[in-house]
Amino acid sequence: MATLRAIRRRINSISNIRQVTDAMRMVAAAKLRRAQENIEAAKPYADRLAVLVHHLASRVGGELHPLMTVRPVQMVCLIPITSDRGLCGSFNFNVIRKAISMIDEYEGQGAGVGLICVGKRGADYFRNRGYGVIDEYINIFRRLNVDYAVDVARQIYALYMWGHIDKVEIIYNDFKSAILQETIVEQILPVIPEEPRTRFRFSDYEYEPDQREILNEILPKYLMTLIWKAMLDSNAAEQAARMTAMENATDNADELIKKLTLQRNRIRQANITREITEIVGTAEALEE
């Protein structure tokens, strides 16, 4: 049975940990508000640009631009977006597990797989286990900037245009709400010509300059926008996951402190009862 001193030390230790987890919860909540504002500001532009690109692609066909040309898949580039820090529940595990599943699937089909890892957790995991890591972008979420999305977009644009990769997919946690994040896979290359599903109706246009020049201008921006939106979504989802994880840790600490306090009080009561019994017994023995 634990001694009274050991229980007191454990209560103090858990109380200190509780203060840390509660502080991290509040910090994550503050960061979540800013991250949510950023993604809400970027989504309308990204969604409207996607509608425009898909409409144009569905009208002109895939032969007008190399980024719209579907090739036999011999090499796939996956972009898993994880966090730079831990203590965010299953946030990183979900992305890594999905990436491993897709790697196994593509390799089973005879295709090679290369990784551009965004986030330190994913980069460390795949590099240490010998996966084919093309490039890493780590410690970028401390000061997330659109320049990182531009760099990633330029890299995969060049690799695709040179024929080094035939397909690009991005894996990240999509921010739904503070309590819900969904791990999704989104193909960004090649751009698939399809009629957009939207309430906006398009008419046939006369293009000036021609369609090829428009696609040359708009597709790289579209590629960068997709990556930037995924980074913002992942950043918001990370803060939400960390806030939830730290809130659960704080609640668990409160429950454990409550149980240990009850155990401490029982031991103290037992000690007091024993001392009283010894005193009464000694007094009775002296009277005899």
pLDDT digits (tens, 9 = 90+) for 91-145: 999 999 999 999 999 999 999 999 999 999 999 999 999 999 999 999 999 889 9
Residues 139/44, Cβ–Cβ less than 8 Å: no
Is residue 218 a contact partner of residue 56, using CB atoms and an 8 Å limit?
Answer: yes
Strand order in 180-189's β-sheet? 133-137, 112-118, 75-80, 167-177, 180-189
Find tokens 């286990």 and name the residue.
Answer: 129
User: Does 72 sit behind a cis peptide bond, omega within 30 degrees of 0 on the bond before it?
Assistant: no
Pick the CATH number of 22-245 from 3.10.620.30, 3.20.20.70, 3.10.290.10, 3.40.1380.10: 3.40.1380.10
Q: Which residue in 24, 39, 60, 88 is the catalytic one?
A: 88
Q: Which residues contact 68 (CB under 8 A, 6 or more apart)?
A: 57, 61, 62, 190, 191, 192, 193, 215, 219
- Residue 190 CA to its chain's centroid (Å): 24
Q: Are 132 and 113 in contact (CB under 8 A)?
A: yes
| 88 has catalytic annotation | yes
Average pLDDT for the chain: 87
Beta bridge partners of 77: 114, 168
Q: Which of 156, 171, 168 is nearest to 96 (CA)?
A: 171
Structure tokens at 281: 């017994």
H/E stretch holding 104: helix 91-108
The parts of the chain modelled with pLDDT lower than 70 are 1-2, 59-64, 194-207, 211, 287-288
Q: Which fold has domain 4-19+250-282?
A: Helix Hairpins (1.10.287)
State the DSSP H helix or E strand holding residue 186, giving kind and residue range, or none if neither.
Answer: strand 180-189
- pLDDT given at position 62: 53
Q: Are 147 and 137 in contact (CB under 8 A)?
A: no
Find all residues with CB under 8 Å of 249, minimum gap 6, and list them. 17, 21
Task: Delimit the domains of the chain by residue range.
Answer: 4-19+250-282, 22-245
pLDDT attached to residue 6: 87
Q: 155-182: per-residue pLDDT in tens?
A: 999 999 898 999 999 999 999 888 888 9
Whole-model pTM? 0.85
